[in-house]
Structure formats: C-alpha cells, structure tokens
Amino acid sequence: MSNGQWYPPEWPDRIRALAAGELVPVTPRRAATVLLLRDADTGPEVHMLRRRASMAFAGGAYAYPGGGVDPRDEQPVRWAGPPLEEWAARLGLDEPAQAQAVVCAAVRETFEEAGVLLAGETAGTVVGDTTGEDWERDRRALVAHELSFADFLDRRGLVLRSDLLGAWARWITPAFEQRRYDTWFFVAALPAGQRTRDVSGEADRTVWTRPADAAAGYDRGELTMMPPTIATLRALQPCGTAAEALAAAGKQDLAPVLAQARMEGDTLVLSWPGHDEFTKRVGNAAGDGTGSAS
C-alpha cells in the first residue's frame, strides 16, 4: 500500500517545464506554522487540521495551524522572550524586523486558526480562556485583515510571548510549485486554561493526535500529508512531553529544506535532501507526463 505523501499530478510536467526554461519560479512567501502540543496519559499530542479539499494548495492534506506573513506583522509589538536579534540569528534572517514578522505570524495564525493565543498581560503570564464573543470578534477581524496583530495586542494590553515558541524546522516549497512558501515550523505547548477551537475556514476537520499515530496513518495511506508535516511528526516522536519538545527545539537544524529534481536516463527523480523517504521516481520523463510515480 502506498503512503499518504501529497504529490500533485501536475508536478512532473511542471518540473520538465522548469528544466526547459519554460517556467519562471515564483518567489516564496514567508510563512509560519505551529505544532501545538498538549500532554496526555499516553504522551504528547499535536493539534492538526485537515485542509478543505477545495483548497488550491494541499487540499485534503493534514497540516498545522499556520499561514503567510502579513506585512503588518513587522509593526512594533510588546515583546517577551529572546530579543529580536537572537531570533533573527536562529531563524537565519538578516533583519530583526523580519524575525519579528515570522514569530508574529506564528502566534497570529495560531489564534486565527485554532483560537489559542500565546500572549499575556506580563512577560510571565498567559491569557486564560479565549472563547468569549469579544475574543471571537477580534479573531474574525484579524482573519478579515480589518485589524493588525500589533493593534490587537496593544488594544488588549498584551505582550507577545515569543519564549513560548521553539523554532523546529524550515522548509521551502519546490521551485516548480505554483504557490511557494518559505515556512518556519515552531513548537509550542497549549497554555493552561485555553483550548483549541475548530474555527479555521480552511479546514474541515481538526484533531488532537499522538505524532506516532498520525505518522502510522500516513504510512498506511489513510492520512495525506506534505513532506514537512510528516517529517516534523517523525522528529517529535522521541519527545515524551511537550516540555521535552520545547527543550529539544534549540537543537533542531533550521537549514532550509528544498526539493531537488534530476534526470536519471528517462526517469525524473525528485528528492528532498536529508529526507530519503520522500524521493519520487517518475518514468517517461521525456514524454507526456503520464509516467507513474513510485
């Protein structure tokens, strides 16, 4: 049985077009996503969303809350945790403002798509229940781009708790994809008193699951995932608690992972450096795109 690797049927033709100079790569948009964790009796669980089948990018695939950086994410915010210069060095970015934008996007998207907010009134506190109608109005305003995240925090007198996040991985969408993202993956523990809500307009299902269980579902071909999703799930499996995952984040390699394509005779080989399990070989590489992937 094949696994659940997300592999769009148009990829081989797009790879050939790129190699022939007929396709101009799209500049990746910066993005952030968060592996939100909670401890259960059988070990840590991660919060996952199933993207609606109608979504133009990765429809039907399981993923984490996340999305693109909003230019307004660079607006100054009340900040707790490592200084921006330290975050920039960790994320491989040149400017502190760029690092702030990526971290803000991670926190903002987690609130927008899961209703969980990594912020508090002080550098040592975290907000509690965020399920009231006043919170929901602000969440909807953020989603609609009627309110910037900086203004949202300022109006509520909140400090962004960057210390509650741990940078885990960085993946860049392949050059032949129509929609490209330069995405940083973070881990964070579900704050006490908060609970996730199924509020993402991009998802038709949300689940809390053990990383090992989700990975097993992928291996059986029951759950569709993009390579970075299953790779991060596998990397989480040795962690016995959410705290262990956060502690391990500082040791994770943030060198960006970018797919590479090459020809072996008439076979097109697509690979992700350092992640051999995702390698695809497509026959009839010089033909009409009808070759099979294996």
pLDDT tens digits, one per residue of 60-93: 889 999 999 999 999 999 999 999 999 999 999 9
Q: Is 216 domain-assigned?
A: yes
Give yes or no for a contact between 292 and 282, defined as CB atoms under 8 angstroms apart.
Answer: yes
Identify which of 91, 103, 116 has the alpha carbon closest to the alpha carbon of residue 37: 116
Confidence of residue 262 (pLDDT cuts 50, 70, 90): confident
Confidence of residue 1 (pLDDT cuts 50, 70, 90): very low
Enclosing domain of residue 235: 27-256
The domain tally of the chain equals 1
Q: Is 20 domain-assigned?
A: no
Q: Is 276 domain-assigned?
A: no
Q: Is 75 domain-assigned?
A: yes
Confidence of residue 284 (pLDDT cuts 50, 70, 90): low
Q: Is the pTM of this model over 0.95?
A: no
Query: Tens digits of per-residue pLDDT, 207-261?
Result: 999 999 999 999 999 999 999 999 999 999 999 999 999 999 999 999 999 998 8
Residue 231, both tokens: 């790779």
Residue 19, both tokens: 């190699």
Share of the chain above pLDDT 90, in %: 72
Q: Is 189 domain-assigned?
A: yes
Q: How far apart are the first and last CA of the chain?
A: 11
Residue 100 or 264, more confident: 100
Burial class (CB in 10 A: 0-12, 13-18, 19+), 22: exposed
CA distances to 38, 167, 168, 231 from 240, rounded to whole Å, are 11, 18, 16, 17
Number of alpha carbons in the 13 Å side-chain half-sphere of residue 203: 21
CATH number (domain holding residue 243): 3.90.79.10
Query: Tens digits of per-residue pLDDT, 115-155?
Result: 999 999 999 999 998 988 999 999 999 999 999 999 999 99
Q: Is 3 domain-assigned?
A: no
Task: Provide the 10 A C-beta neighbour count for residue 290.
Answer: 11
Q: Is 235 domain-assigned?
A: yes
